[in-house]
Amino acid sequence: MAWNVFKFCTALRGLGSVMILLVLGVVGVTYYAVVITNYGPSLQNGGLDVVIALAVLILFHGLLAMLLWSYFSVVFTDPGGVPPNWRPVIDEERGENVPLASSEFSGQTMLQSSVLVDSSNSRIRYCRKCNQMKPPRCHHCSVCGRCILKMDHHCVWVVNCVGALNYKYFLLFLFYTFLETTLVSISLLPNFIAFFSDNEIPGTAGTLATTFLAFVLNLAFALSVLGFLIMHISLVSGNTTTIEAYEKKTSPKWRYDLGGRKNFEQVFGTDKAYWFIPTYSEEDLRRMPALQGLEYPCKPDLDAQ
């Protein structure tokens, strides 16, 4: 019997709570090693130790707060789906697909009902699994069981698809994870080196093991996340996704590439004050379809509902 890869993809849904608990477990081990075991007690030593410990603890808690905020924003934000019975607007006189602005769609509803009409390719795309038409830059996720707008990939670590509505949050999660794990690796490096020295190290066997484990985990995450971060920065600069980078043919000009700054603003918004936090300004939410490259809202086929 042939192995059905799609059944395997569906089985990945069961990893949901496990992966979240794993992430929280790593955070817990790291917090115990940095705050409880090492730098928290250093606040009572006095002198330079207090200054160093205070600096590490402030940075650690600040980055941790941003990391968790970004992480749960990715987990709980819908990446963007195609409305039921969606149809492209048809110009009856010309017989062509054309954009149609509608005042009935605003805010998040407008974004989730949006589509970019590709003038260079008027072919209507159809999803055989969802049994409905789908907008350009939209792909079907076998794990989620639906089509996702501007889908990048399905991430088991966040138990969600990464798409048009949560791609910024995912990038910020990578960014703050890299900063946090790098900080932890550097701050625990002296303890890690001392672990292999002949000098007697203060602490119980449990605290020493926790410090060792936290250092190894954070160093491994820092190195791996750095690679993903560099890759996604490259994708954002060219206004493409992981799927599109894999599927598209080599061409002198990617039709969605609007230039470095506009490509960046499609993901992070135009308000600089919100670039490094996992949320958007009210103005950017109103302009979200244009920012995401999903400029034109199209009405669902109301007659088919």
**Residues 125, 106: Cα–Cα separation, whole Å:** 25
Global model pTM greater than 0.75? yes
* Residue 150 pLDDT exceeds 80: yes
Any idea which residue has 């608990």 for tokens?
21
Catalytic residue among 9, 130, 155, 161: 155
Examine the pLDDT at 215 and tell me if it is beyond 80: yes
With beta carbons less than 8 A apart as the criterion, state whether 191 and 11 touch: no
- Is there a domain that residue 84 lies in? no
In this structure, the answer to whether residues 217 and 263 fall within a common structural domain is no
| Residue 162 covered by a domain | no
Largest CA distance in the chain: 85
The domain total for the chain is: 2
Q: Are residues 44 and 100 in the same domain?
A: no
CB 143 within 8 A of CB 13: yes
143 in the same domain as 17: no
pLDDT recorded at residue 13: 59
CA atoms of 18 and 6, how far apart (whole Å): 21
Cα angle 63, 65, 69; round to 5: 115
155 assigned to active site: yes
Assess contact for 63 and 88: CB atoms under 8 A. no
- Asked whether the beta carbons of 145 and 10 are under 8 A apart, the reply is yes
Residue 88 sits at φ, ψ, to 5 deg, of -70, 150
In a domain, 160, yes or no: no
- 199: pLDDT confidence band, cut at 50, 70 and 90? low
C-alpha pair distances (Å), 163 with each of 160, 201, 239, 274: 9, 48, 13, 19
Q: What is the pLDDT of residues 97-143, one digit of tens each?
A: 444 333 333 334 334 333 344 444 456 788 888 888 888 888 999 88
- What lies within 8 Å, CB to CB, of 269 at 6+ separation is 168, 275, 280, 281, 284, 291
Instruction: Judge if 248 and 122 occupy the same domain.
Output: yes
Start-to-end CA distance of the chain, whole Å, equals 40
Question: 62-99, pLDDT tens digit by residue?
Answer: 999 999 999 999 999 999 888 777 777 654 444 444 44
Single out the residue in 198, 213, 235 at which a domain terminates: 235
Task: Say yes or no: 247 and 231 in one domain.
Answer: no
